[in-house]
Every structure is written in C-alpha cells, then in structure tokens.
A and B are shown apart, each in its own frame.
Chain A
C-alpha cells in the first residue's frame, strides 16, 4: 500500500487580483499513495478546489513540481495532460455538470466516446457500472428527469467508465439532501475499498471525518494532515 501516485512539491499558485497577487496555493507539498481515502476540509476560499484541480491536471502550478507516477506533468503540453487526465483521473462535481440534452447513458459514456471506443462496447461498460450504482433503469432519462442523488450517480458513473486510479470529488454532496448525500458517500467509499484512490473536498465535518486521512487547509496551506488509517482499521 505504498505505491506513490501523486506527489506535489512546493506547489505555488497565485492569482493576479487588482494590484497585488492572491496566493491561493502556498508551497503545498503532498504525497498520495494508491488506494488512499482523503478528505480535504477548510474554510471557504482556502484553496481546496484549486488543489483538487491541480491534482486533476485542470490547472497548472506557477512554480513547484507535480509528479504523477513519478513522472513530471508540469513540463508537458496541454494535449498530453488531457491524455493523462482522461486515463488516470475521474472528476465528480458539486453540481454534477451533466449535459442536459444527453441521456444519462450518453452522459456517462462521454469519456469513452472521446477515446473512440465503439458504441457497443461503450454501452456494455456503462450498463455494468449503472447496475452497480443502482440506476440501470434510468439509462434513457434526461438529466431533468432525474433526482439529485441519481444525477450524482450518473456523474460518478461517468467518472468511473475509464476505470481511473484517482477519483476527485469536489463537494459531491453539496447539492444533495442528507440521505442521498450519505448514500453517495457510501458509494464512493465502496469504490475506494475496491482500490480506487479517493479525494473528497467537503464542508461537512461528519463526512470529512469518515476519511482515513484528513487534510485541513487554511489560506493556501495544508495546516493539518491527520492520518486515521490505523484508528479507522481498528474501529471497523
């Protein structure tokens, strides 16, 4: 369990706001091993989403290093980073980001469409994941015909179809009620048990504390890095 996947070294990110720069990530260093379950908490504006986007290769650090599987990503072209993103990373968002004109199934298969996989094989993969997530009978529904919990399941399915190693969830329960939020979290945890590396950004303490490793961020710095792994193992 010590396969290093993600390694951030002194990553800085500054936004130019007006005259002075706003330092959103301040020399953040972070190592993530395969299969970890990490929550990121902290006050609004502390840089949680920025950190997650950085790990997901959507954003580039101004300075510092980001190694994915021990190879540098910061010096790569956007094309190559998109390729890495497609292969290794699944995103889940607070507001789902499903395309309204596409059915649940079409939304979920989108990453596979990008790879050029034939339709038949795509459908097979999506169906399997849909039945795992309990939404197999919602395949042909449009997003507007689905509940929040179902929408997030479709989004999770979309993140899973490429079989990524890392799942990045930015406040996945933010738009859900308590019950369906809990269901989604349990779903993500079960995926983590199957080996996926899981990062959840959340404001919900209860959810954050379920994670084996809890990061706290304040003003662009990781102020606390608590590894409950052993404790959690013991209690379960």
Chain B
C-alpha cells in the first residue's frame, strides 16, 4: 500500500466523520495556539527589556555606593555603612582612559511648585553628561549648560508630565518654579519617552549637580553613570574604578558596579527560561488533546470493526491496518497543528496591532516545539487504539462482534 493511497483512504475516513474530526482538530489547534500565544508573551517581555537596555546604550556601567553582597544573588544588597560616593570620586573615575562620558547623580524628592500648583518630584542633580548617557532628548528649550558641571546655577529641565501638570498648555520655558522654596528657571522640557528602567522620566526634574548638593544639603552621590569608549573594556574599567575608589576610601572598594550587558543577559536568560516554562505548561493542553484522540480513536475502532475485518479478509496485514489508523491520527494532528499555528500567529499579529508598544513575538522555537510535541503525542496516544485495531480477529470483526 503506497503512502498516497493510505493517505487518501484515511482522508476519506476523516471526511466521513466531519464533526468528530473538527472537534479533535480544534482540541489540537487550541493546544498549539495556546503554546504559541503564551510563549509570545514571554518573548515579548524579553524583547521589551532588551529594548529598554538598548535604549540606554550598551557600553554603560552604573556605579552604586555600598558593596554588593556576593552571596546575595544579582540584586545588590547594600553593606551596613558604606562610605559616600562624592563628586570628587566621580571626577577621579572620569579620568580613566576608557571612560567616554561620566555623569554623577544626586537624587532626592523635592516639592516643586509653580504659582498655586505644587507636587512631589524626584529630582536628579547631574551634569550635562546625563543627557547623552541616558539618551535623553530635549523636547523644548535646551539641556543643562556646560557650566553647570562645576557651578551651581538656578536652572532646571522638567519631565514632560510635570510640565503638563504645573503649566498645562502654557509656555514653561523661562518661567520660575520653586524647588523646596528655592527658585529655578525652567530652561528645557524632556521629550516624551515613557518609562526607562523603572524610572518614569516624564515625572522627573533635572538640575545642576552643585545646586542639588546645596538643595539636599548632602554631597553624596546616588549613582555614577559611565559610558565607555569601546565594547569589551568593561572588565578593565571595573578594575580601574575599584583601584581608584580603594585608594580614595582608605583601602576599601565599597561600591557596586553594574554592567548593562551583564544585567541584560541575565534578564534575558531568566526570561527565556520563563518563556519555555510557560510553553511547557501550555503544552499540557496538548496532552489533554492526546487523551481525547485516544478515547475517540478507541470508539472509532470499535465502530469500524467490520471495515477492519474486511480489510484483513482482502489481504491487509495487521501492520497495514495499524498504519492506516496511525496515518489517520497523523493527518488529524497535522491539520490541527496547521490550524493552531495559523490561529496563534493570527492572534499575536492582531494583538500587536492593538498593542503596538509591547513587542509581542512568537519565538522561533515555539512553533517547532509545539508541532513536534503535538505530533509525538498524537502518534503516541493513537498507537494503542491502532494496535487494538490491528489485533482484531477478522472472523469476529466481520460478524460484527
């Protein structure tokens, strides 16, 4: 019996029982589609985070005060009493040859008010360098002037949302606002960009670092952001930074250094794992579909015993009978896989049309894994009914018992 004939024979058997075929096909399709859709969520989360990191540039090092506990996993846990990082520390680090741009940051919350309106705002004190390092773009006005790297000056750049809340649609550039009572002139508004690494830049204000120092009455830095000259220099730079800090901090390099690349790859690894687990959970529905196929196949074999008896009477071997039933399941599952794949991609395409911000995408391995799992399960679960069919005694089967 050649494959074409077996297939068309099985196809006719499937076509004969349209409702049954359609329902089984649907069960497989739902399984496959749910694997695709769920993994696309995981993959989307991964891409989203990668996007965020890339927006920051990938040769970025972040220095935090306090030593990360080496046993504490990847989340930095601060030591008990770290020495403060100072602007002088930052300036010393900026002299390392591989450092292209250095932006020190002092952070705190202040009450920002304009006329009768006021609100709490996270205020970053920094230098002009924060704009290129964090890829901030100015929507209106200009960035902090170069002179603010070293001197206090009463100017500020506001996030777009703050501007909207304080000024509405009125012009803000040139107006004076109060930061905890001190007057600052608005010189620029950040372009809308949305969230970045958990900080909503639309809700922040940036002022010169020296001004922040006196505003918060503290010289200690929250972060130092570095952009390096070339890729691959992270390790060298890290070593250099630790040497400099140790020299300046009585022999202790009590800082933590996060590299963008390391952070990103550990995030990606975790998310790939999460995506795979979600996919595996979704694959349970394929197992359910497999059981369904097995049950229905048993019923179908019992109903078609006469046909099996006849096939044997005209010379079909047990092997050929089993093959026919297996091909039938295989075709059914294949159709289900095709339908499920089309449906899954359709849903994801539709979802990304309505939800363009989130980079939903079905990972390349997902359709391969789900269809091979579906086919394997389909064959596995129809093996028993097919063998049962092949075992039928033709004499009894022909008599309809």
A110-B314 contact given A79-B319, A101-B13, CB 8 Å threshold:
yes
A53 interfacial by beta-carbon distance below 8 Å: yes
A113 to B7, CA, bound (A): 11
A147 to B1, CA, bound (A): 30
Q: Kindly supply a per-residue 1/0 record for chain B positions 294-310, scoring 1 wherever the CB is within 8 Å of any chain A CB and 0 otherwise.
A: 00000000000011011
Whether B310 pairs with A85 at a CB distance below 8 angstroms is no
Whether B12 pairs with A114 at a CB distance below 8 angstroms is no
A34 interfacial by beta-carbon distance below 8 Å: no
Residues in B whose Cβ lies below 8 Å from that of A102: 12
The total of chain B residues at the interface (CB under 8 A) is: 25
Near B by CB (< 8 A), chain A positions 54-105 give 56, 58-59, 78-79, 82-83, 85-87, 91, 93, 97, 99, 101-102
A111 interfacial by beta-carbon distance below 8 Å: yes
Q: Kindly supply a per-residue 1/0 record for chain B positions 365-401, scoring 1 wherever the CB is within 8 Å of any chain A CB and 0 otherwise.
A: 0000000000000000000000000000011001000
Q: Kindly supply a per-residue 1/0 record for chain A positions 95-131, scoring 1 wherever the CB is within 8 Å of any chain B CB and 0 otherwise.
A: 0010101100010001101111001000000000000
A82-B317 contact given A53-B395, A58-B394, CB 8 Å threshold:
yes
A99 to B9, CA, bound (A): 11
Residues in B whose Cβ lies below 8 Å from that of A78: 317-318
Cβ of B393 to closest chain A Cβ, rounded Å? 9
Extra 14 A-B pairs, beta carbons < 8 Å, given A82-B315, A83-B317: A58-B394, A79-B317, A85-B313, A85-B314, A97-B306, A97-B313, A101-B12, A101-B13, A110-B311, A114-B1, A114-B311, A114-B314, A114-B316, A162-B315
Residues of B within 8 A of A (CB): 1-2, 5, 9, 12-13, 15-16, 306-307, 309-320, 394-395, 398
Residues of A within 8 A of B (CB): 53, 56, 58-59, 78-79, 82-83, 85-87, 91, 93, 97, 99, 101-102, 106, 110-111, 113-116, 119, 158, 162
Please name 12 pairs of A and B residues whose Cβ atoms are closer than 8 Å in the assembled complex, sorted by A: A58-B398, A59-B395, A79-B317, A82-B315, A82-B316, A85-B314, A86-B316, A110-B314, A114-B315, A114-B316, A115-B1, A116-B5
